[in-house]
Amino acid sequence: MFDIAAIQSALRQFEIDAWLLYDFRGSNVLARRILQLDGSAVTSRRFFYCIPAAGAPHKLVHRIESGVLDHLPGKKTVYLKWQELEAGVERLVDGCRCVAMEYSPRNANPYVARADAGTVELVKACGAEIVSSGDLIQEFEATWDDDQWQMHLAAAELTDAAFSRAWSFIVEQVSQRGKVRETLVQREILQHFSANGLTTSHPPIVAVGPHSGDPHYEPTQDNDAEMGAGDFVLIDLWAKLDQPRAVYSDLTRVGFIGETVPKRYEEVFQIVAAARDAAIELIRDAFSQQRKLAGWQVDQAARAVIDQAGYGDYFIHRTGHSIGQETHGNGANMDNLETQDNRQVLPGTCFSIEPGIYLPEFGIRSEVNVFVNRQSEVHVTGGKLQRSVMPIV
């Protein structure tokens, strides 16, 4: 349900005068979702929808597609000529000092930056300061309600159980045949998902030895490797209940096929686990003290641990990503590497914490999910935290 009152309350909370939502031919999928146009036919003319912090919204639409925003409240202005468009935009933001758009200064956060530079220039020329709508997008695109939280918990329990099934399958196959291929373990996990009412956007990662040193390795028929006694294995899997509005659980664990884990694997794992725990501790501390926390700060807390251990060059991705109805959602990412994500970590959002160290001979990642509820309570989901490399026996 489109809730103008909730949006205006958020605008006041973030001290923003208005939110100007704009789209041209589907260029701004975030605006289309907020305006409940996601999945509808893509329009061919520009439209604007301005929501002030107080007062009625205002629409600016083209004569050919004048009904595109009729499902939304507010006064409608119809334009035909480009001069009328520009004059209409000026009226939309008249009196507004600070206007939010899907914009990121210097394109520092491309996940949010959907408004093109020329449109931003047009709005600025009308006298308004443009700020990023990133936190507004989070509030209305990335936060969960109670039903979604419960669906996540159910998915987390089942994805956690998928590891036990995978480890058992590896033991069984190695005991009987001496080896098992990555794709067969992958297939076993997908069968577990199917049998338990889960769906996924992409098959899980099952990576043995050097393959685990590639964060986005995908086992295929062309690169499918065998694993057996003495091999190191990384499994990264993600799934959600096969139900409307369900949200993902996304977890990674590592194991060694044998009774005694070699010291080298365990040493690197402990550094990764310490980085993971440092990020979680920062989040818990910030919310317990009601202190604002940005995504980049969480990344930095984990990254500092790995840097100090001398492996900074081998931590080659952000610490975490937003989680929602897609595996990678539209909330704040825990990132001070690929971007400096200045979006706040907001109550009602979920994200992964997954630091890693990727060496030529093997890679280690430990991934859990963190959900902050509306009461600012921090929940780590997906079963018990992995504390050491799993002996697969």
Give the separation between CA 172 and CA 373, rounded to whole angstroms: 40
* 275 touches 284 (CB < 8 A): no
Residues 253-279: what's their mean pLDDT?
98
Q: Please report, rounded to a whole number, the percentage of residues in the chain having pLDDT higher than 70.
A: 100
| Separation CA 327–CA 248 (nearest Å) | 6
Tens-place pLDDT, residues 151-185? 999 999 999 999 999 999 999 999 999 999 999 99
Residue range 6-25, pLDDT digits in tens: 999 999 999 999 999 999 99
pLDDT for the residue 169: 98
- pTM equals 0.93
Q: How many CB atoms lie within 10 A of CB 309?
A: 18
List, for residues 292-313, the tens digit of each pLDDT value: 999 999 999 999 999 999 999 9
Token readout for 230 is 């003495």
pLDDT beyond 90 at 39: no
Average pLDDT (276-284) is 98
Domain with CATH 3.40.350.10 in the chain: 4-141
Range(s) of the chain covered by CATH 3.90.230.10? 143-391
CATH architecture type of domain 143-391? Alpha-Beta Complex (3.90)
Residue 308 backbone dihedrals phi, psi, to 5 degrees: -65, -25
Question: What are the pLDDT digits (tens) for 350-384?
Answer: 999 999 999 999 999 999 999 999 999 999 999 99
**Candidates 3.20.20.70, 3.40.350.10, 3.40.50.2300, 3.40.1160.10; correct CATH number of 4-141?**
3.40.350.10
Average pLDDT over residues 240-249: 97
Distance CA 44, CA 48 (A): 13
Tens-digit pLDDT profile for residues 50-60: 999 999 999 99
Convert the chain into a string of H (helix), E (strand) and C (coil): CCCHHHHHHHHHHCCCCEEEEEECCCCCHHHHHHCCCCCCCCCCCCEEEEEECCCCCEEEEEHHHCCCCCCCCCEEEEECCHHHHHHHHHHHCCCCCEEEECCCHHHCCCCCCCCCHHHHHHHHHCCCEEEECHHHHHHHHHCCCHHHHHHHHHHHHHHHHHHHHHHHHHHHHHHHHCCEEHHHHHHHHHHHHHHCCEECCCCCEEEEHHHHHCCCCCCCCCCCCEECCCCEEEEEEEEEECCCCCCCEEEEEEEECCCCCCHHHHHHHHHHHHHHHHHHHHHHHHHHCCCCCEHHHHHHHHHHHHHHCCCHHHCCCCCECEECCCCCCCCCCECCCCCCCCCECCCCCEEEECCEEECCCCEEECEEEEEECCCCCEEEECCCCCCCCEECC
The pLDDT score that the predictor gives to residue 1 is: 67
Summarised one tens digit per residue, pLDDT across range 78-137 is 999 999 999 999 999 999 999 999 999 999 889 899 999 999 999 999 999 999 999 999
Mean pLDDT of 181-203: 98
